[in-house]
Structure 1
């Protein structure tokens, strides 16, 4: 209970629960939803309990028992008075403990929305029990913020609740004397700053993300010193924080720093789980991306080969994850620009497409996207004869999957047009580009940069076609005239 606050005053924090939540603006995707009084029993209990505790206990007892006409003695009434007063104070604590246990079970069962509702209930109960200004209430808000981020993927809501909790936690941390409470506050601050950092990162604000994640790192270091080196049982692990810092560093273009964080994360995973764990796959893929940005293509290829090798051993070759890594490896070989890597590009693209078709089907987005990437590479390398039938076959699947008028279909028509132009089939190239332009105008609008670019190319091709036709007509007329002159002679 907050310092200097009597048990009857504690529920005052609940008076603003409904207005405090429902006055917030609608966020992205799914807005924050507080269960309504009419359809949620636990909310109904919490709401009415907060109203009840404003009334002195003896008045509540009179209202509940005197109207019954039960003829109870004064001693019995007094005993029930005391029992009800105890219920009003201790029952919310029991409800809070139940909710906290329930959250862990719901998360284990992957019932994320229900777990998030329980986190909301924990905030309400914490306000009733401790009051709005207590660190325990701020801790419940920080947990709710982390829930919105990790369970629901809603960074705006996560950020809002984390900011609400921050000032309270920092105030209590500065004045805390109990070691146990200080440890809990430090753990909560790690979770809170991690939540803020990742939420900013998801919204493409690299600087804000890096700043908050650094704060999380500082609090984790302080917690390590406080616990004499051990930090087991934290909600946010050291590995998760290190990876988030690596991604934030990448977002602000500090490539060497990003590389350091990912190398540290990989080292920690290998030390804990060995060098063949599936946890390494995504880390190898991300560190390969950093190496590509640093123009270290050979190093990037090595990391992706390690990722592919783990995929094959853990998932087998015919698996969507293996297909994804195979496509990344093909693109890494292509990015190197080395002629000796051409065979490897083709091999890994074909492996990826085959695995996607076998597992997800020929109409799946990933399958079609990989075919398109492969065809682009074939066109760039002058292998147009192989690219055209692949694009033509994928076009039917795209129309069936995404409708005639989609971005994907427009891009396929564009690539087919390029092949026809390169082969000297100007009329066919113009027809395909017209189809591409028609879809782009419907999808993007007439003034979009893609529509304007296609329109300009189409105009150039049509001019070239007209000039070619005129040249042919002039050549034919010239031949006719020479024949006529020869006959006259």
Structure 2
């Protein structure tokens, strides 16, 4: 007996013609059948290979998803449980590719169907508890992120809680950290910064216990710094500074040319600038110029942003000649990176023109000098 799921009929199912019927009768019966019930996937399970064929590789993701959904059902009906689990995992991955952001409702349906089949397999002793938990974890993780993208935070958090239950006390630390980070992102997106900090703090404790200087700690510390810097209150500022420094220290293991390290350093510099620590800000920005030139290129937006920040601080400190040199170099890069008509370029041009009229600059002969290097 073939089991069907009315929530989402198998895609790509074909209808066989009945012999002895004329075209008009056949057409009428075909339409009636289509209206009354969804098509049932007809697969010869015994002759269907469990590996990718050339035809499967050529299928687009949406068609391939339908194929594996049908095959998973057929495998379950024929008690070929290992193959069914394998196809369920494929369905979870393919739902992301097939539906993306355009058909999130269909993707949700695919995940729910996979969970339904998995539960039936478990009831039939077709899958052991450990394997069931692993597949359920994939489904709950995917659903939590899908619900978040659909603006359903409560359901997203519920799936995260389910993931934590599946992981238990002895779960993989990296996966547990990932769940807490997802929960923090959900809470932060709806403005619950204290809850976001709570989840990130748990993830941070796990990361520190597993690898004191590892990349997980660097990323989680960076996230904690950003959330604390967004929250009001002096204690949040102190915590933000602490976690920024911690993240930069942890990122050093990946090297100063790591783009994430450079991004974290830029965010820290903006935090320092807001809190009046200009010298430390300029110190870090000057140190970042060489690796940014190496990673992004001499004429990149990243290099121009650093020069603009440095030049702005120099100007507020009354170092007009140096600010003029730095911002002229910044303007040169912006003209190439953004174009002369871009707002950033025009704003910098106005500042450079203003500085050029200052007596210190106007009465000084121009000379080539490396800016803020």
> TM-score if structure 1 supplies the norm length?
0.56
Matches within 5 A, 1:450-461: 452-461=342-351
CA change 1:468–1:430 in 2 (3 A) is: closer
Aligned counterpart, 2:165 = 267
Does 1:407 pair with 2:301? Answer: yes
Deviations 1:265-311 (CA, angstroms, capped at 9, x unpaired): 1222125x25x833211111121111111111111111111111111
Does 1:282 pair with 2:182? Answer: no
In 2, are the aligned partners of 1:287 and 1:303 still within 8 Å (CA)? yes
Does 1:432 pair with 2:326? Answer: yes
Deviations 1:337-390 (CA, angstroms, capped at 9, x unpaired): 322211111111111112222x22333333322221110111122221220111
Does 1:249 pair with 2:143? Answer: no
Q: Distance in 2 between matches of 1:208 and 1:322?
A: 35
Secondary structure of 2:173's aligned partner:
coil
Structure 2 residue aligned with 1:377, among 246, 266, 271? Answer: 271
Aligned counterpart, 1:334 = 229
Note the residue ranges of structure 1 that are not aligned, 5 or more in a row: 1-131, 149-156, 474-489
Aligned counterpart, 1:389 = 283
CA change 1:367–1:165 in 2 (3 A) is: closer
CA change 1:259–1:430 in 2 (3 A) is: farther
In 1, are the aligned partners of 2:81 and 2:121 still within 8 Å (CA)? yes
In 2, are the aligned partners of 1:243 and 1:262 still within 8 Å (CA)? yes
Aligned counterpart, 2:88 = 190
Q: Distance in 1 between matches of 2:55 and 2:160?
A: 28
CA change 1:398–1:222 in 2 (3 A) is: closer
Aligned counterpart, 1:303 = 199
CA RMSD in angstroms comes to 3.7
Bigger relative contact order, structure 1 or 2 (CA pairs below 8 A, ≥6 apart): 2
Secondary structure of 2:112's aligned partner:
helix
Task: Indicate the structure with greater helix content.
Answer: 1
In 1, are the aligned partners of 2:301 and 2:334 still within 8 Å (CA)? yes
Aligned counterpart, 1:221 = 116
In 2, are the aligned partners of 1:190 and 1:217 still within 8 Å (CA)? no
Q: Distance in 1 between matches of 2:65 and 2:290?
A: 53
Structure 1 residue aligned with 2:66, among 157, 166, 169? Answer: 166
Does 1:180 pair with 2:78? Answer: yes
Q: Distance in 1 between matches of 2:91 and 2:106?
A: 9
Secondary structure of 2:332's aligned partner:
helix
In 2, are the aligned partners of 1:242 and 1:265 still within 8 Å (CA)? yes
Aligned counterpart, 2:187 = 291
CA change 1:196–1:165 in 2 (3 A) is: closer
Aligned counterpart, 1:239 = 137
Query: Whose radius of gyration is greater, 1 or 2?
Result: 1
Note the residue ranges of structure 2 that are not aligned, 5 or more in a row: 1-41, 364-373
Q: Distance in 2 between matches of 1:143 and 1:314?
A: 43
Q: Distance in 2 between matches of 1:292 and 1:422?
A: 34
